Amino acid sequence: MDNNPFSTDWMAGWSDLQRKIWDDWSEATQSTWSKNLHADNPMNFFREGLNRWPGFFAPSQQQTPEAMAMRHAMSAMEGFMRMGREVFNVFQSLTPDAGKPGHEWTSQLDQIIKNAKDFFTKNSEAFYGNLNAMGKTGMPTMGMPNIPGMPNIPGMPNLGGMEEMSAFWSRPMKAWSDFLTNNPLFSNDIMRSMLTGDRSMEEMMTRFLSVPGLGFNREKQEKLQEGMRLGLEYRKALEEFQHLTNKSNTRALDLLQQKLLELGAEGKPLQTLRDLYVLWVDCSEEANAEAVTSKEFNALNSRMMNAMIRVRRHMGDVIDSSLGAMNMPTRRELDSAHKQISILKRRLHAMEEELQELRAKDNSADINALRDDMEKLGVRRLREELATLKAQLDDSLLAAPVESSSDKTVIKKTVRIGGAKPQATTGPAQKGE
Amino acid sequence: MFPFTINPEKAVEELARFNKKLAAGVKTFTEMGPIESGVSPKEAVYREDKLTLYHYTPRVDSPHRVPILVVYALVNRPYMADIQEDRSMIRGLLDQGMDVYLIDWGYPDPSDRYLTLDDYINGYIKRCADFIRTRHDIYRINVLGICQGGTFSLCFSSLHADRVRNLVTMVTPVDFHTPDNLLSLWAQGVDVDLLVDTLGNIPGDMLNLTFLSMNPFRLTGQKYVDMVDLLDEPVKLKNFLRMEKWIFDSPDQAGEAFRQFIKDFFQRNGLIKGVVKLGERRVDLANVTMPVLNVYATKDHLVPPDASKALKKYVGSSDYKEVAFNGGHIGLYVSGRSQAEVPPAIANWLKERG
Torsions phi, psi for B322 (to 5 deg):
-115, 145
Residues of chain A in contact with residue B23, where contact means CB-CB under 8 angstroms, are 19, 22-23, 26
Q: DSSP secondary structure string, A117-169?
A: HHHHHT-TTHHHHHHHHTT-S------PPPPTTPPP-TTS----SGGGGHHHH
| pLDDT score of A52 more than 60 | no
Which residues have C-beta within 8 Å of that of residue B182, sequence separation ≥ 6? A292, A293, B214, B301
Chain-centroid distance, C-alpha B48: 21
Question: Is B176:B147 a contact under the CB 8 Å cutoff?
Answer: no
Question: Is A153:A38 a contact under the CB 8 Å cutoff?
Answer: no
- For residue A402, give the 3-state DSSP assignment: coil
| pLDDT score of A69 more than 70 | no
> What pLDDT is recorded for position B123?
96
The structure's pTM equals 0.76
> What pLDDT is recorded for position A163?
46
In this complex, is the C-beta atom of B200 within 8 Å of any C-beta atom belonging to chain A?
A: yes
| Rounded-to-integer distance, Cα B57 and Cα B59, Å | 6
B300-313 pLDDT, tens digit each: 999 999 999 999 99
Give the distance from residue B73's alpha carbon to the nearest chain A alpha carbon, in angstroms: 22
| Rounded-to-integer distance, Cα A67 and Cα A372, Å | 77
> What pLDDT is recorded for position A81?
73
Torsions phi, psi for A405 (to 5 deg):
-120, 170
B324 forms beta bridges with B296
Quick one: which of B302, B213, B200 has its CA closest to B259?
A: B200
Nearest to A335 among B35, B200, B240 (CB): B200
B218-234 pLDDT, tens digit each: 888 888 888 888 888 88
> What pLDDT is recorded for position B137?
94
In this prediction, residues B90-115 reach a mean pLDDT of: 97
Q: Is the dihedral of CA A186, A189, A192, A197 positive or negative?
A: negative
Question: Is B143:B157 a contact under the CB 8 Å cutoff?
Answer: yes
Quick one: which of A201, A203, A190, A199 has its CA closest to A234?
A: A190
| Rounded-to-integer distance, Cα B13 and Cα A51, Å | 19
| Rounded-to-integer distance, Cα A350 and Cα B169, Å | 29
What's the whole-number average pLDDT of chain A? 68
| pLDDT score of A36 more than 50 | no
Quick one: which of B120, B106, B94 has its CA closest to B42?
A: B94
> What pLDDT is recorded for position B221?
83
Give the distance from residue B204's alpha carbon to the nearest chain A alpha carbon, in angstroms: 10
> What pLDDT is recorded for position A220?
77
Q: Which of A9, A330, A338, A359 to mutate to test the interface with B (most CBs of B within 10 A)?
A: A338
> What pLDDT is recorded for position A123?
53
> What pLDDT is recorded for position A209?
63
- For residue A265, give the 3-state DSSP assignment: helix
| pLDDT score of A191 more than 80 | no
Enter the DSSP assignment of B325. E
Marked catalytic residue, from B68, B70, B147, B171: B147
Give the distance from residue A367's alpha carbon to the nearest chain B alpha carbon, in angstroms: 26
Q: Is the dihedral of CA A154, A156, A161, A164 positive or negative?
A: negative
* B contact residues 114-153, partner A, Cβ 8 Å cutoff: 114-115, 119, 123
| Confidence label for A141 from pLDDT (cuts 50, 70 and 90) | very low
Long-range contacts of A199-204 (CB under 8 A, 24+ apart): A202/A232, A202/A235
| pLDDT score of A328 more than 70 | yes
Catalytic site includes residue B155: no
> What pLDDT is recorded for position B317?
96
- For residue A183, give the 3-state DSSP assignment: coil
> What pLDDT is recorded for position B333?
87
Question: Is A226:A209 a contact under the CB 8 Å cutoff?
Answer: no
B71-98 pLDDT, tens digit each: 999 998 999 999 988 899 999 999 999 9
| Confidence label for A260 from pLDDT (cuts 50, 70 and 90) | confident
A79-111 pLDDT, tens digit each: 777 777 777 677 666 666 666 655 667 777 787
In this complex, is the C-beta atom of A138 within 8 Å of any C-beta atom belonging to chain B?
A: no
Question: Is B300:B338 a contact under the CB 8 Å cutoff?
Answer: no
In this prediction, residues B45-64 reach a mean pLDDT of: 97
CB-CB under 8 Å, A183 with B5: no
Residues of chain B in contact with residue A18, where contact means CB-CB under 8 angstroms, are 26
In this complex, is the C-beta atom of B326 within 8 Å of any C-beta atom belonging to chain A?
A: no
B161-205 pLDDT, tens digit each: 999 999 999 999 999 999 999 999 999 989 999 999 999 999 998
* A contact residues 335-364, partner B, Cβ 8 Å cutoff: 335, 338-339, 341-342, 346, 349
> What pLDDT is recorded for position A205?
64
CB-CB under 8 Å, A312 with B19: no
Which residues have C-beta within 8 Å of that of residue A275, sequence separation ≥ 6? none
Question: Is B141:B66 a contact under the CB 8 Å cutoff?
Answer: yes
**Higher-confidence position of A231 and B59:** B59
**Higher-confidence position of B222 and B295:** B295
CB-CB under 8 Å, A274 with B225: yes
The helix/strand count (H/E) of chain A reads as: 15, 0
| pLDDT score of B140 more than 60 | yes
> What pLDDT is recorded for position B253?
96
Question: Is B237:B230 a contact under the CB 8 Å cutoff?
Answer: yes
| Lowest mean per-residue pLDDT among A134-138, A311-315, B57-61, B237-241 | A134-138
> What pLDDT is recorded for position A402?
59
- For residue B146, give the 3-state DSSP assignment: strand
A329-355 pLDDT, tens digit each: 999 999 999 999 999 999 999 999 999
B164 forms beta bridges with B141
Give the distance from residue B210's alpha carbon to the nearest chain A alpha carbon, in angstroms: 9
| Rounded-to-integer distance, Cα B213 and Cα B208, Å | 8
| Lowest mean per-residue pLDDT among A397-411, B40-54, B233-247, B269-283 | A397-411
> What pLDDT is recorded for position B58?
97
Share of chain A above pLDDT 90, in %: 16
CB-CB under 8 Å, B242 with A65: yes
| pLDDT score of A145 more than 50 | no
In this complex, is the C-beta atom of B234 within 8 Å of any C-beta atom belonging to chain A?
A: no
Question: What CA dihedral angle connects B10, B13, B17 and B18, to 10 degrees?
Answer: 70
Give the distance from residue A69's alpha carbon to the nearest chain B alpha carbon, in angstroms: 7
| pLDDT score of B53 more than 90 | yes
| Lowest mean per-residue pLDDT among A103-112, A166-175, B116-125, B302-311 | A166-175
Helix (H) or strand (E) holding B82: strand B82-84
| Rounded-to-integer distance, Cα A94 and Cα A69, Å | 37
CB-CB under 8 Å, A12 with B30: yes
β-strands B277-278, B87-88 pairing: unpaired
> What pLDDT is recorded for position A137?
27
* B contact residues 155-184, partner A, Cβ 8 Å cutoff: 182
> What pLDDT is recorded for position A161?
41
Give the distance from residue A71's alpha carbon to the nearest chain B alpha carbon, in angstroms: 10
Quick one: which of A218, A194, A198 has its CA closest to A312?
A: A194
| Confidence label for A200 from pLDDT (cuts 50, 70 and 90) | low
Residues of chain B in contact with residue A309, where contact means CB-CB under 8 angstroms, are 191, 194-195, 198-199
* B contact residues 67-96, partner A, Cβ 8 Å cutoff: none
Residues of chain B in contact with residue A293, where contact means CB-CB under 8 angstroms, are 182, 185
Chain-centroid distance, C-alpha A221: 32
Closest residue of chain B to A350, computed from CA coordinates: B123
| Rounded-to-integer distance, Cα B169 and Cα B349, Å | 13
**Higher-confidence position of A147 and B27:** B27
Enter the DSSP assignment of A23. H
| pLDDT score of A33 more than 70 | no
| Confidence label for A11 from pLDDT (cuts 50, 70 and 90) | very low
Angle between helices A295-325 and A331-360 (to 10 degrees): 100
Residues of chain A in contact with residue B26, where contact means CB-CB under 8 angstroms, are 15, 18-19, 22, 56, 70
